[in-house]
A = this chain, B = another copy of it.
Amino acid sequence: MQFMTTLADAWQQRNSLLCVGLDPDPARFPRHLIGRDDAIFTFCREIVDTTADLVCCFKPQIAYFAAHRAEDQLEALIEHIHARHPGLPVILDAKRGDIGSTADQYAIEAFERFGADAVTVNPYMGRDSVEPYLAWPGKGVILLCRTSNAGGSDLQFLDVGGGERLFERVARLVAEDWNTSGNCALVVGATFPDEIARVRRLTGDMPLLVPGIGAQGGDVEATVRAGCTADGGGLMINSSRAIIYAGGGEDFATAARAAAIATRDEINRHRPVPVHRI
């Protein structure tokens, strides 16, 4: 599938800008899953199956699988999403970044091995470190721009000349120079709505992946007003912990569904022009 067109279709057909982040931490799993060999897969699959009609994409975070030697469960999870929920893109949140020959391998990891539709990439090493991902034009390449954590300001907010901040330079480089395959997107944290607006002005209709609502405290209304495109799309607003750990018991997936509905609806209340009214 083509990431960009699939995402646009998902925004419209599902009337949702919500991305559910899959950060499975076994220490927070409900009791009945503890001790199961496939606990990580099972936990995520239940979240996926009960929220798939409410989201525009899913975003598994690879660190939570890698820390537990559970790459096989990540493979199975992405395969499950594609098989059971066609039309929903999967973003592998990996934040890779390395020289070209190594980035070739990371692109194979994300796109061939795991079958992800898009991957997050760190821009610190510059354009040639990103090109190997751009060589997969059907896949999405989502570059870190302005991250949602407090320390993000340490480098990203530095003035790199004429009042331009480093994150703005990244946005401009990606929009004007790196996005030759038309498959780039950017990460901009919900904790900085003014900066979402600045990135939106620099990048036209480029999709923005926005972490930081929910557990991290970002403002949904300000995020939507700052980042939505004129047609009511343009955003993948991620919530991980506030949704997947909404409940702690056997009904955790039901609780996750309720949290996802509430978040989707809160986002939609503030969209300037919903893509599709249902």
User: Interface on A for B, CB 8 Å cutoff?
Assistant: 23, 25, 61, 63-64, 66-67, 69, 71, 95-103, 105-106, 108-109, 112-113, 122-130, 144, 147-156, 158-161, 166, 169-170, 173, 241
- Residues of B near A158 (CB, < 8 A) are 160-161, 166, 169
What DSSP secondary structure best describes chain A's contact surface?
Answer: helix
24 contacts between A and B (CB under 8 A): A61-B105, A63-B105, A64-B105, A66-B71, A66-B109, A67-B106, A67-B112, A69-B113, A97-B122, A97-B124, A99-B147, A99-B149, A124-B147, A124-B155, A126-B147, A126-B150, A130-B151, A154-B173, A155-B166, A155-B169, A159-B160, A159-B161, A160-B160, A166-B166
Is the Cβ of B23 less than 8 Å from the Cβ of A63? Answer: no
Given the complex of chains A and B, what is the CA–CA distance between A153 and B148 in angstroms? 25
Given the complex of chains A and B, what is the CA–CA distance between A170 and B147 in angstroms? 17
Q: Which B-chain residue is minimally distant from A107 (CB atoms)?
A: B67
Is the Cβ of A122 less than 8 Å from the Cβ of B95? Answer: yes
- Residues of B near A160 (CB, < 8 A) are 158-160, 166
Q: Which B-chain residue is minimally distant from A241 (CB atoms)?
A: B101
- Residues of B near A128 (CB, < 8 A) are 149-151
- Residues of B near A71 (CB, < 8 A) are 66, 69, 71
Q: Which of B102, B129, B170 contacts A61 (CB 8 A)?
A: B102
Most buried by B among A124, A166, A169: A124
- Residues of B near A173 (CB, < 8 A) are 154
| In the complex, the 9 A-B pairs of residues with the closest C-beta atoms, listed nearest first | A126-B151, A126-B154, A128-B151, A63-B105, A67-B105, A67-B108, A158-B160, A66-B109, A124-B124
- Residues of B near A153 (CB, < 8 A) are 126
Given the complex of chains A and B, what is the CA–CA distance between A276 and B103 in angstroms? 38
Q: Which of B61, B64, B127 contacts A154 (CB 8 A)?
A: B127
- Residues of B near A122 (CB, < 8 A) are 95, 97, 122, 124
Q: Which B-chain residue is minimally distant from A108 (CB atoms)?
A: B67
Given the complex of chains A and B, what is the CA–CA distance between A158 and B172 in angstroms? 14
Is the Cβ of B63 less than 8 Å from the Cβ of A102? Answer: yes
- Residues of B near A112 (CB, < 8 A) are 67
Given the complex of chains A and B, what is the CA–CA distance between A40 and B23 in angstroms? 30
Other than the given A66-B109, A122-B122, A160-B166, 12 more pairs (CB < 8 A) read A61-B102, A63-B103, A64-B105, A67-B109, A67-B112, A97-B122, A97-B124, A100-B149, A101-B241, A125-B149, A158-B166, A159-B161
Distance in angstroms from A210 CB to nearest chain B CB is 14
Is the Cβ of B95 less than 8 Å from the Cβ of A96? Answer: yes
- Residues of B near A25 (CB, < 8 A) are 105
